[in-house]
Amino acid sequence: MAKNYFLKTLTGIALLGLLASCNTTSDPTESIPNPDDGPPPQKILAKVNINANSDEEFVTTAGVLETAIFKDEVNTNANYTGTVTYTNKNITNIKFVSTAPTSMNYTFDITPDSKGNIYNASCVATSVNAGAAYVSDLAFTYDTTGKLTKVLEKRKVGGITAYNVFVENIFTYSGENIAQVAVSKGTLDINGVPNMATAVQSKYSFQNYDTQKNPYSTLPKSFFIIRGLVSPGHLYKASPNNPTSKYFQLPSPATPVNTSQSYTYDQQGYPLTEKNQNIVFTYKNL
């Protein structure tokens, strides 16, 4: 009986040793990563710095854009504040006011369609130079896929009661991205029809888009359409992806502007930096 007890004891020790040898950090089950915490949080663009200086700020509450602050491109020491008003969650009014007293200020009243796209709009542009001030009406044209293809603006400039100036924006696309906007500005004939023989044209090309997420796509597209009609070089911000080059061909004698862009991205595919112009994008989680 003593012999049987001894054998049972040895067997028990061996079994415990086997179990212990299986419970080590080299066990494949211990190297399986912990389950993730779910999908990453949604984010929204909050600030854009260029060369460590603020270039754009977006004030949002619960994911809704309320105010945008950005550089005045005419008076570079000044800023514009864009204030956004909504009706039934659609943007119906945007005011752009500069801190420079000599800059133009703009108020856009917007009529959205059933999809929230801009159907038409009107603008009142004020200036200390009465001859530059105007009121205008804008008509928006879309193709069968819902892409914006043309915006025709007719202006009454300098206090004249009849339309006398037009600005036509023609959009072309690369996939879903805005590839080029041709902007023609001229006079209207006596019937209110654009006289293209009087037009001066600029072309804004946005090229070689990446497949990552445009940081501005976290904010309302219609805001950047309206801002882009004031300053067309910003119209790429209404695209879903990021251009890696831009080419602006302005009327003579202006020199064409050609820039290249190279980005770093976060794990969600949003740009963190643009290395060539030293741009930094900052987001906040929703």
pLDDT, tens digit, 9 for 90 and up, residues 185-240: 999 999 999 999 999 999 999 999 999 999 999 999 999 999 999 999 999 999 99
Q: How crowded is residue 247: how many other Cβ atoms within 10 Å of its Cβ?
A: 16
Tell me the average pLDDT of the chain: 89
Q: 73-77, 115-119, 149-153: which has the highest mean pLDDT?
A: 149-153
Comparing 8-17, 117-126, 143-152, 243-252, the range with the smallest average pLDDT is 8-17
C-alpha distance from residue 138 to each of 32, 68, 164, 175 (Å): 59, 22, 14, 25
Handedness of CA 186, 229, 147, 154 (dihedral sign): negative
pLDDT band at 17 (very low <50, low <70, confident <90, very high): very low
Q: Which residues are paired to 67 by β-bridges?
A: 59, 83
Distance CA 151, CA 229 (A): 9
Length of the chain: 286
φ, ψ at 97 (rounded to 5°): -125, 125
Q: State the DSSP code for 26.
A: T
What is the structure's pLDDT at 145? 95
What is the structure's pLDDT at 22? 41
Question: Is the confidence at residue 6, as pLDDT, over 70?
Answer: no
pTM for the whole thing?
A: 0.85
pLDDT band at 41 (very low <50, low <70, confident <90, very high): confident
Closest CA to 232 of 142, 158, 168, 143: 168
Question: Is the confidence at residue 8, as pLDDT, over 50?
Answer: no
State the first-to-last Cα distance of the chain, in angstroms, to the nearest integer.
74
Question: Is the confidence at residue 108, as pLDDT, over 90?
Answer: yes
Question: Is the confidence at residue 286, as pLDDT, over 80?
Answer: yes
What is the structure's pLDDT at 12? 46
Count of alpha carbons within 13 angstroms of residue 269, beta-carbon side:
10
What is the structure's pLDDT at 37? 52
Question: Is the confidence at residue 44, as pLDDT, over 90?
Answer: yes
Q: Is 115 helix (H, G, I), strand (E, B) or coil?
A: coil
What is the structure's pLDDT at 38? 55
> Quick one: average pLDDT of 153-167?
96
> Quick one: average pLDDT of 110-118?
94
